[in-house]
């Protein structure tokens, strides 16, 4: 069990929780994730480690309410326990020897891009962050990003905040302006990661993506999270979740992530009572 120390809503659908998990905090590195289960009848879901504090023994998670489990999680308050909290899982991002990087976050993916930027910035790497959102009302972590990079470029699709446009437009402009990135790190919706990779490919810039396939155990024992990378089958939970974006079959990943769409919608409807119970308690 892991106790929730702080809970903060970052925007109407995105919540941050700082959770007490000393053993995980001791080992966590950027790129790794945890698996959690909210209650006895719950499913196991993966969430990336958005931050960690080795002294305090805490792990920060940031999640968007997209279905039953994240809704249930969001009903928990400070002082409550998350039933199961396992990690750190997956391989840390490999970033040895890089001098300048562009970290690109899309929407709630910024929560996962943030620890990467922070870690690199703290280790003396020049970091440009491009954080993209649909509109102003869902912007998250702006202050945190400001402190964790050299340049922050904030974009919104509708121009309601920051620059109008897509992250890929900004990235292309920065590259064209002469910025020489050793690595581009892209984290966000699959479609965004796919197009970031298409943008960097002609320039031959190494691009890392953090994949988010469906997972169950997160320790390599089921293969539910398998993805095709360079034509080979990989298990994202143990071989990743970071992969060379130019090798990833994004269309396949998108199809696989839709496998339980109908069932997910049905579970969300049928379990309204469980959500209600949780809120009443």
Partner 1 sequence: MANMSMTKLPMPEQDPDVRNHNFQEVALGYTPEMAVEEAGRCLQCKKPLCVSGCPVNVHIPEFIAKVAEGDFKAAYEIIYQTNGLPAVSGRVCPQESQCESLCVRGKKGEPVAIGRLERFVADWYRENVTEKAEKPASNGIKVAVVGSGPAGLTCASDLGKLGYEVTIFEAFHTPGGVLVYGIPQFRLPKEIVRHEVEGILDLGVELSLDTVVGKTITIDELFEMGFQAVFVGSGAGLPMFMGIPGETLNGVYSANEFLTRVNLMKAYLEEYDTPIKHSRAVAVVGGGNVAMDAARCAKRLGAEHVYVVYRRSEAEMPARAEEIHHAKEEGIEFHLLNNPTQILSDGKGSVAGMECIRMELGEPDESGRRRPVEVPGSEFVLEVDTVIMSLGTTPNPLIRSTTPGLETNRKGCLIVQEDTMETTRKGVYAGGDAVTGAATVILAMGAGKKAAAAIHAALQAQ
Per the annotation, where are the binding residues?
62-64, 222, 225, 237
Nearest approach, Cβ of residue 244 and partner 1 (Å): 18
The region of 47-55, 107-115, 168-176, 211-219 touching partner 1 under the rule CB under 8 A is 211-219
Residue 191 contacts partner 1 per CB under 8 A: no
The region of 5-13, 42-50, 151-159, 163-171 touching partner 1 under the rule CB under 8 A is 42-50
Phi-psi region of 203 (alpha: psi -120 to 50; beta: other; left: phi over 0): alpha
Nearest approach, Cβ of residue 259 and partner 1 (Å): 4
Q: Which of 43, 80, 142, 163 binds partner 1 (CB under 8 A)?
A: 43
Report strand pairing: 183-187 vs 100-106. Answer: parallel
Question: What is the Cβ-side half-sphere exposure of residue 225, based on CA atoms within 13 angstroms?
Answer: 24
Residue 271 contacts partner 1 per CB under 8 A: yes
Reference 50, options 68, 64, 71, 38; nearest CA is 64
Give 146 or 266: the residue with its C-beta nearer to partner 1: 266
Nearest approach, Cβ of residue 84 and partner 1 (Å): 4
**Contact between 228 and 165 (Cβ < 8 Å):** no
Residue 272 contacts partner 1 per CB under 8 A: no
Counting every residue written for the chain, the total comes to 281
Report strand pairing: 206-210 vs 242-244. Answer: antiparallel
H/E segment holding residue 120: helix 110-122
Nearest approach, Cβ of residue 86 and partner 1 (Å): 4
Distances (CA, A) of 198 to 157, 163, 172: 19, 21, 11
The first and second tokens of residue 97, run together, are: 């020897």
Site for partner 1 in 230-269 (CB under 8 A): 233, 238, 252, 255-256, 258-260, 263-264, 267
Site string for partner 1, 60-89 (x = CB under 8 A): --------xx-------------xxxxxxx
Give 51 or 239: the residue with its C-beta nearer to partner 1: 239
The widest CA-to-CA distance across the chain, in whole angstroms, is 57
Residue 7 contacts partner 1 per CB under 8 A: no
Q: Which of 27, 123, 134, 164 binds partner 1 (CB under 8 A)?
A: 27
CB atoms within 10 A of CB 197: 22
Q: Tokens 């840390």 — which residue?
A: 92
Residue 3 and residue 239: Cα distance in Å, rounded?
A: 29
Give 121 or 271: the residue with its C-beta nearer to partner 1: 271
Give 142 or 217: the residue with its C-beta nearer to partner 1: 217
Residue 44 contacts partner 1 per CB under 8 A: yes
DSSP string, 143-198: HHHHHT-SEEEEEETTSSSSEES-HHHHHHHHHHTT---SEEEEES-HHHHHHHHH
Nearest approach, Cβ of residue 267 and partner 1 (Å): 6
Binding site for partner 1 (CB under 8 A): 23-24, 27, 37, 41-44, 68-69, 83-89, 216-217, 219-224, 226-228, 233, 238, 252, 255-256, 258-260, 263-264, 267, 270-271
């Amino acid at each position: 069990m892991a106790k929730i120390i702080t809970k903060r809503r970052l925007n109407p659908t995105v919540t941050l929780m700082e959770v007490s998990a000393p053993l995980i905090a001791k080992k966590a590195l950027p790129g790794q994730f945890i698996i959690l289960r909210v209650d006895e009848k719950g499913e196991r879901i993966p969430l990336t480690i958005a931050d960690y504090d080795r002294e305090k023994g805490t792990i920060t998670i940031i999640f968007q309410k997209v279905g039953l489990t994240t809704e249930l999680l969001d009903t928990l308050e400070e002082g409550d326990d998350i039933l199961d909290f396992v990690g750190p899982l997956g391989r840390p991002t490999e970033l040895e020897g890089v001098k300048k990087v562009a970290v690109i976050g899309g929407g709630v993916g910024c929560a996962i891009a943030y620890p990467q930027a922070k870690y690199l910035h703290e280790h003396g790497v020049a970091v440009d962050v491009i954080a993209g959102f649909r509109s102003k009302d869902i912007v998250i972590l702006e202050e945190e990003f400001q402190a964790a990079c050299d340049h922050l470029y904030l974009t919104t699709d509708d121009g309601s905040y920051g620059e109008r446009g897509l992250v890929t437009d900004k990235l292309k402009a920065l590259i064209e302006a002469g910025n020489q990135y050793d690595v581009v790190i892209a984290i966000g919706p699959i479609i965004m990661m796919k197009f970031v990779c298409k943008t960097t490919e002609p320039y031959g810039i190494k691009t890392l993506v953090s994949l988010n396939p469906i997972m169950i155990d997160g320790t390599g024992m089921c293969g539910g999270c398998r993805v095709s990378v360079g034509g080979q089958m990989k298990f994202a939970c143990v071989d990743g979740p970071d992969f060379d974006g130019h090798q990833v079959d994004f269309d396949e990943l998108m199809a696989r992530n839709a496998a339980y769409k109908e069932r997910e919608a049905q579970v969300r409807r049928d379990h309204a009572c469980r959500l209600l119970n949780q809120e009443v308690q």
